[in-house]
A = this chain, B = another copy of it.
Amino acid sequence: MNTIIKEDFKIITGGITAPKGFQAAGNHIGIKKYKKDLAIIFSKIPANASAVFTKNKLKAPPLLWCEKLIKNEEKIQAIVINSGNANACTGQRGYDDAVKTAQTLAQSLNINQNSILATSTGVIGVYLPMKNMIEGIKATVPMLSDDKKSANACAEAILTTDTFTKTITLEIDIEGTPVKIAGIAKGSGMIHPNMATMLNFITTDLNISKPLLDKAFKSNIEESFNMITVDGETSTNDMAVILANGCAQNPIIDKEDINYHKFKNALQYILIYLAKSIVKDGEGATKTIECTIDGAKSKEDAKILCKAILNSNLVKTAFFGKDANWGRIISAMGATCLDFDPNNAKISFISAKGNITLFENGTPVEFDEDLALQILSENEIKVIVNLKDGNAQITGWGSDLTYDYVKINAEYRS
């Protein structure tokens, strides 16, 4: 993940409708008071799809619907997303509402309901307002377009309390054919009281077999969305999906050749970009912390240590306070009870202002407090932990813990 070859793709504008054959729309249908709350993504032809869903035991009903379609290897032609209501903890009625949502869109688009993913984000434990949903979907379908404005409206309509839209578009070249890949995301954590969810939607006009689309997507997820944390909470509605409709008409990718790796590499860039955007827009966050564990015995160990650091409230408040507190980092690692030798460990901080080593060979290193303060005053800080214990490496991203996190999450539900 640290070896993305940027030469193999170019970053372009356009958004989720840049890949050929995709249209999108975003509309306000009255679930939220004023903001857009319904998004539709549509592919002219059914697309190969791959998806991952929250591991939370309380998977929201719409995710059960989506999961069923993905499990049955249905080709997917449309995604409908409402924001403002997560349709979570709503039982059988919630599931029926998700199916009804897909049916409504199927009728409007005159396509098979089993080709429609329906998902939700917002308040937990409230039934979907189905009158708004049905009328809203019917009103939004005519707005579907492949222009940039519609792509932006779609990216906006999936947000809850995010402070900015998250979107990225890349172009790669497959045997002389230009192929586009685009992604949108909405904010992490459970931002507002009772609000949930991280959502990610990727479109591409690449012609790729379903098994290889799955492989590229899922292996990249592990080192992007699965390596970020804002507050260690896994929502009931977390989901990421990619649609590949083949409209670019490149020679099909059906083996792990150079073209596959070119695509996988570009997709990885997109997923990490979106993952980092989510962290940057985390609840009350003032800083993005990039933590790399190097020299670990195994990747699994590295992941556990990395997440222990990024999830520690004490580490997070120290970064908010610009405190070069290596003690909390080593203690958070120690608390995992993993088998590593702290006497070999080295801890350094890097930012645009320079770098310092704070801890080495089991003991504190004297460091320049002024330089440390300068480094920690930046908005993007890298923590490098070298365990000198093996060859495994991982990078993850998190944020600081601030007054605003408490404020945002302690507000009485209104």
Provide the residues of chain B in CB contact with A330, threshold 8 Å.
58, 89
**A34 CB within 8 Å of chain B:** no
Closest to A364 in B: B125
Q: Is B236 a contact of A314 with CB atoms below 8 Å?
A: no
In the complex, what distance in Å separates the CA atom of A338 from the CA atom of B55? Answer: 10
**Binary contact track A219-247/B, C-beta < 8 Å → 1, others 0:** 00000000000011111100000000000
Q: Is B57 a contact of A317 with CB atoms below 8 Å?
A: no
> Please, how many residues of chain A have a CB less than 8 angstroms from a CB on the other chain?
65
Q: Is A411 a contact of B334 with CB atoms below 8 Å?
A: no
Q: Is B190 a contact of A410 with CB atoms below 8 Å?
A: no
Q: How far is the CB of A96 from chain B (nearest CB, A)?
A: 14
Residues of chain A from 371 to 414 with CB closer than 8 A to chain B in the complex: 373, 401-403, 405-407, 409-413
Q: Is A190 a contact of B331 with CB atoms below 8 Å?
A: yes
**A318 CB within 8 Å of chain B:** yes
Q: Is A196 a contact of B125 with CB atoms below 8 Å?
A: no
Residues of chain A from 161 to 203 with CB closer than 8 A to chain B in the complex: 189-190, 193-194, 196
- One of A152-160, A265-273, A320-328 contacting the partner: A320-328
**A337 CB within 8 Å of chain B:** yes
Q: Is A125 a contact of B326 with CB atoms below 8 Å?
A: yes
Q: How far is the CB of A373 from chain B (nearest CB, A)?
A: 8
**A12 CB within 8 Å of chain B:** no
Q: Is B401 a contact of A406 with CB atoms below 8 Å?
A: yes
In the complex, what distance in Å separates the CA atom of A317 from the CA atom of B193? Answer: 9
In the complex, what distance in Å separates the CA atom of A411 from the CA atom of B321? Answer: 6
**A332 CB within 8 Å of chain B:** yes
In the complex, what distance in Å separates the CA atom of A333 from the CA atom of B58? Answer: 8
Q: Is A57 a contact of B342 with CB atoms below 8 Å?
A: yes
Q: Is A58 a contact of B331 with CB atoms below 8 Å?
A: yes
Q: How far is the CB of A3 from chain B (nearest CB, A)?
A: 31
**A363 CB within 8 Å of chain B:** yes
**A335 CB within 8 Å of chain B:** yes
**Binary contact track A40-64/B, C-beta < 8 Å → 1, others 0:** 0000000000000001111100000
**A354 CB within 8 Å of chain B:** no
In the complex, what distance in Å separates the CA atom of A409 from the CA atom of B400? Answer: 12
Closest to A345 in B: B58
**A90 CB within 8 Å of chain B:** yes
Q: Is B328 a contact of A194 with CB atoms below 8 Å?
A: yes
Could you say which of B91, B190, B313 contacts A232, with CB atoms under 8 Å apart?
B313
Provide the residues of chain B in CB contact with A364, threshold 8 Å.
89, 125-126
A57/B337 contact (C-beta < 8 A), A233-B331, A330-B89, A362-B89 known: yes
**A124 CB within 8 Å of chain B:** yes
New A-B pairs, 15, CB < 8 Å, besides A57-B334, A189-B314: A56-B337, A57-B337, A58-B333, A88-B327, A89-B327, A89-B359, A124-B327, A194-B325, A196-B331, A233-B335, A234-B331, A235-B331, A236-B331, A321-B410, A403-B406
Pairs A-B, 8 closest by C-beta atoms: A321-B410, A58-B334, A317-B409, A124-B327, A57-B334, A234-B335, A56-B334, A125-B364
Q: Which residues of A contact B (CB under 8 A)?
A: 55-59, 88-91, 124-126, 189-190, 193-194, 196, 231-236, 312-314, 317-318, 320-323, 325-328, 330-340, 342-343, 359, 362-364, 373, 401-403, 405-407, 409-413
Question: Can you name 20 A-B pairs with beta carbons within 8 Å?
Answer: A56-B334, A57-B336, A57-B337, A89-B327, A89-B363, A124-B327, A190-B328, A194-B325, A196-B327, A196-B331, A233-B312, A233-B331, A234-B335, A321-B411, A321-B412, A373-B412, A403-B403, A403-B407, A405-B406, A406-B406
